[in-house]
Structure 1
Amino acid sequence: MNTALYKHMVKTQAKTIISYSVGSAFYIALIAGVYPSLADSKAINHYLQQLPDELLKVFNITGMDNLLEFIAGEYYGLLFLLIGSIYCITAANQLMARPIDRGSMAYLLATPNSRRTIAFTQALVLLTGLAAIVILTTAAGFAADAWLVTNDSLDRERFLQINVIGFLLFFAISGYSFFFSSTAHDEKRALSLSGGITILFYSFDLIGKLAEKAEWLRYGSIFAAFEPGKIAQGQVEWLPVSLLLFTIGVLGYTAGIGLFAKRDLPL
């Protein structure tokens, strides 16, 4: 790792990292804050009971029996996925594909640092931002539970499991996004490949949840590895899922760094 480059790129990405982190923290605090007023609502509970099981599965809604199940469905089932996925795709593009496409990567390569060192440093910047988002989100969840919710206590262990597996999901997404950003011929192609595959994965998971006959499609989606509602209920074996997502992320980053070190860059 090149320390000077790392500090410079973190500073460059600071506004983006802060905006995503604060946005994620705000949403989870907001959702936790409204839970007490909804928890005792018979109308809301009755409405949830009338919804089709397929629709509840799509948004990972398992009920309103406790705060963790509520935020698992209302936040981690969709908003968290959107915020993290968009950050992974756009940050990888800004750190690798854009400098290559616009020629500014040549200035970095002119320094006495190997290509592997530069790519590895950019990968660490991406992961630093991702870690900041998840850590601040986790901290906001604990703070909201302590300050805004008085009649319920957050299951800390399962809440941490949701966030750790969520981080590993984004680690996997950022891994293949980094790979495409390191190897694509231009910025638009890298963005379209990363975004397209992420949308395809999400579509497979969505269709698999909606149609029982198409449930096999979920085996082709990394989003199927993240089920916050089931984690909240203690129905997920977190170790195999974590190892799978970690492996995908490591392969993506390793391949991206390796191929970037060997590829011919456009002049």
Structure 2
Amino acid sequence: MFSKSLLKATIKQNYIVFLIILAVMMMYITIIAGMYDPSIQDTLDEMLKMMPKELMSAMGFTSFGNTLLEFISSYFYGFLILLLPMIYTIVVANRSIASHVDRGSMACLLSTPNTRMKIARTQAFFLLVSITLLIGFLTLAGVGMSVILFPGELDIPGFLLLNLGALILYYALTGLGFFASCLFNDTKNSLAIGAGLPVAFLVLQMLSNVGDKTDFLKYFTLYTLFDPEKIVQGEGYILSFIVLFLVALVTYSGGLYVFNKRDLPL
């Protein structure tokens, strides 16, 4: 079903960028968890009101909340979770198929007993597992630091649900990147879609948060389907999760089909 040798080579190719993004994410979640102090929440909210409203809204900083979960949700999951893993997914998704075709190494892979479907399944498997590990390690770090610094303060089920939402979001985004990588023969066109769409989604999401005049832009970005506030409140997120999962299913399946059927410049 998978090529072990290709999987090992893919891990070797991408583990450094994985570790860098993971280290940055864990650093931020640790710092943010350590900044929580219920006694100064009102002061922080007052400081927030003094900052440019449009800028703070664009970055998802509308309120720091009253609980540890709300604080982490606003400070980290309002913007940083949309940016940091995206960098990883753009790089790795492009390397999965299009980079091999562009460099000519796909011909070498197909000269082995590996079929197109086996190669594509292996790369899709790596994408899904690696992004799951990335969000999984982030979740463990967040829970661990919260338990150490503020025992009993964190709503752990709510935090796990928040990270589940982030994971499904990135299943959908990696699916878009994988589909683009399978569709094009060169990295330029692959990145135009695989990187262009996520970046455009992020910009549109930021603009939609600015005010009522730009609120309509939320209908043109996948990031709208990940709403930390609704997830923390425990309502109105199930349909969004389903839609994101379907996007992931369609894009990964479409990528496998397209790569298996199209002509390759070998």
Q: Work out the number of aligned pairs and report it.
A: 264
What is residue 259 of structure 1 aligned with on the other side?
258
What is residue 144 of structure 1 aligned with on the other side?
145
Q: Secondary structure at the match of 2:60?
A: coil
Q: CA offsets, 1:178-233, max 9 Å, x none?
A: 01111113112211222211122222222222231332221121000112133223
What is residue 165 of structure 1 aligned with on the other side?
165
Matched, 1:242 2:247: no
What is residue 122 of structure 1 aligned with on the other side?
123
More displaced, 179-188 or 50-59? Answer: 50-59
Contact 1:21 1:133 in 2 (8 A): yes
Contact 1:176 1:249 in 2 (8 A): yes
Q: CA deviation at 1:29?
A: 1.1
Matched, 1:32 2:33: yes
More displaced, 62-71 or 137-146? Answer: 62-71
**Partners of 2:21 and 2:69 in 1: how far apart?**
22
What is residue 45 of structure 2 aligned with on the other side?
45
Q: CA offsets, 1:119-175, max 9 Å, x none?
A: 01101111111011100000001001111225x611111111110010111111100
Q: CA deviation at 1:51?
A: 5.4
**Partners of 1:110 and 1:224 in 2: how far apart?**
43
What is residue 233 of structure 1 aligned with on the other side?
233
Q: TM-score, normalised by structure 2?
A: 0.91
Q: Structure 1: any 5+ residue segments left out of the alignment?
A: none
What is residue 74 of structure 1 aligned with on the other side?
75
**Partners of 2:216 and 2:137 in 1: how far apart?**
35
Contact 1:180 1:256 in 2 (8 A): yes
Q: CA deviation at 1:18?
A: 2.3
More displaced, 52-61 or 40-49? Answer: 52-61
Q: TM-score, normalised by structure 1?
A: 0.91
Q: Secondary structure at the match of 1:266?
A: coil
Q: CA deviation at 1:41?
A: 5.5
**Partners of 1:27 and 1:262 in 2: how far apart?**
43
Q: CA deviation at 1:39?
A: 4.8
**Partners of 2:203 and 2:48 in 1: how far apart?**
24
Q: Structure 2: any 5+ residue segments left out of the alignment?
A: none
Matched, 1:7 2:11: no
> Over the residues paired in the alignment, what is the CA RMSD in angstroms?
2.0
State, as a whole percentage, how many aligned pairs show the same letter.
Answer: 34
More displaced, 236-245 or 173-182? Answer: 236-245
Letter of the aligned partner of 1:256 in structure 2?
G
Q: Secondary structure at the match of 1:177?
A: helix
